[in-house]
């Protein structure tokens, strides 16, 4: 879904698709699309012969198909960063605060 980010962590094979989050295979009930996406993904698995390669699957998302991709409640980290914006650089740089080890009494 985000091939640039996926490839940046070194996955061996990447079948990229331009679908909204939470709808990786397609809309609920759209069995034909889901089947086609899975079949194309498995074909990519066979085709890719170079580590780190990406196949861009040729599925188009209909722009008129409006879907709400957001959860009903903002994720805890989003709410936390709104309240504590000075922590945003830690999130941006993926350097979360260290977890304090339980102290031995």
Partner 1 sequence: MKGCIIGLMAKIVNSYRFLDGITSRMMKHWVTLGAPRQIPWSPLAKPISQCTVSIVSSAAVALKTDQPFDQEIERRDPWSSDPSYRVLPRATVTADVRVYHMHINTSFAQQDLNCVMPLERLCQLEALGDIAHSAPSHYSYGGYTIRPDALLRDSVPGIIDQLRREQVDAVVLVPV
Give the interface with partner 1 as residue ranges (CB under 8 A): 1-12, 16-18, 20-29, 31, 34-35, 37-39, 41-48, 50-61, 67-73, 75-77, 79-80, 91-94, 96-97, 99
Please, what is the minimum distance in Å from the beta carbon of residue 105 to partner 1?
A: 22
Please, what is the minimum distance in Å from the beta carbon of residue 53 to partner 1?
A: 4
Half-sphere exposure (Cβ direction) of 82: Cα atoms closer than 13 Å: 6
Burial label, 94 (beta-carbon count in 10 A; 0-12, 13-18, 19+): exposed
Sign of CA dihedral 24, 25, 27, 33: positive
80 contact partners, CB below 8 Å, separation of at least 6: 87
Instruction: Using the minimum distance from each CB to partner 1, give the nearer residue, 60 or 104.
Output: 60
Instruction: Using the minimum distance from each CB to partner 1, give the nearer residue, 46 or 104.
Output: 46
Instruction: Using the minimum distance from each CB to partner 1, give the nearer residue, 9 or 104.
Output: 9
């Amino acid at each position: 879904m985000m091939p640039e980010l996926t490839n940046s962590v070194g996955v061996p094979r990447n079948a990229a698709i331009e679908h909204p989050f939470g709808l990786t295979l397609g809309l609920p009930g759209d069995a034909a699309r889901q089947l086609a996406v899975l079949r194309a993904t498995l074909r990519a698995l066979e085709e890719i012969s170079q580590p780190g390669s990406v196949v861009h699957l040729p599925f188009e998302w209909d722009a008129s198909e409006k879907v709400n991709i957001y959860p009903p409640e903002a994720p805890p980290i989003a709410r936390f960063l709104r309240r504590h914006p000075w922590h945003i650089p830690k999130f941006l740089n993926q350097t979360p605060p260290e977890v304090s080890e339980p102290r031995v009494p």
